[in-house]
Amino acid sequence: MAELLSQNPFIFIFIAIFPVWQFVKRVTDPTYSKNLSPSPSKLPIIGNLHQIGTLPHHSLHFMSKKYGPLMLLHFGNVPALIVSSAEASREIMKTYDVIFADRPVSSVSRRLLYDMKDLSVAPYGEYWRQLKSIFVLQLPSNKTILSLFPMPLLEHD
């Protein structure tokens, strides 16, 4: 082993730097905390995607039986809180609804949807409420649309 390390210094550097890199990554990662929900172990790049089978709802059901109604899964590098209990989801939507109201920010939505000014991707807040009220007031209802077209006469036999 000592001969291998002396012949190839890159292996020695990797063995020396890898634990330090892991430590720095955990300390600087905002999602790393001791108060996180229980979750299955994840792989570095794909997260928990390897644990989702061909029937994702079955996989999530079995994981919820093992880890509880709240699980933290990582799909790639994106953390996702999975809630599999009606009571827990009711509590989350009642107490923490503002926290979960925002949509994820992506460069695609910034470029294609006018710097996230579209109603479908706008962040929750005063701007979104104004957009919603404009859409509700200005878009015609189903009854208004049907009143614009003449009703076809129904023939009776």
> Does the pLDDT value for residue 1 go beyond 80?
no
Note the pLDDT of residue 141. 81
Q: Which of 121, 124, 101, 105 is nearest to 113 (CA)?
A: 121
Same domain, 94 and 42: yes
- Give the dihedral of Cα atoms 119, 121, 122, 124; nearest 10 deg: 110
How far is C-alpha 112 from the geometric centre of its chain's CA atoms? 20
> pLDDT for 30-88, tens place per residue?
555 566 777 888 888 888 998 998 999 999 999 999 999 899 999 888 888 899 899 98
Spatial neighbors of 54 by CB under 8 A, at least 6 apart, are none
If you compute the radius of gyration of the chain from its CA atoms, what whole number of angstroms results? Answer: 26
Same domain, 3 and 49: no
Examine residue 71 and state whether it is found in any structural domain, yes or no: yes
> pLDDT for 51-64, tens place per residue?
998 999 999 999 99
Same domain, 87 and 124: no
> pLDDT for 127-155, tens place per residue?
989 998 988 888 888 888 888 877 665 55
Last residue of a domain, one of 99, 122, 141: 99
Same domain, 82 and 132: no
Cα 4 to Cα 8, 14, 19, 75: the distances in Å are 6, 13, 20, 37
Spatial contact of 44 and 51, defined as CB atoms under 8 Å apart:
no
Examine residue 155 and state whether it is found in any structural domain, yes or no: no
> pLDDT for 86-102, tens place per residue?
998 898 888 888 887 77
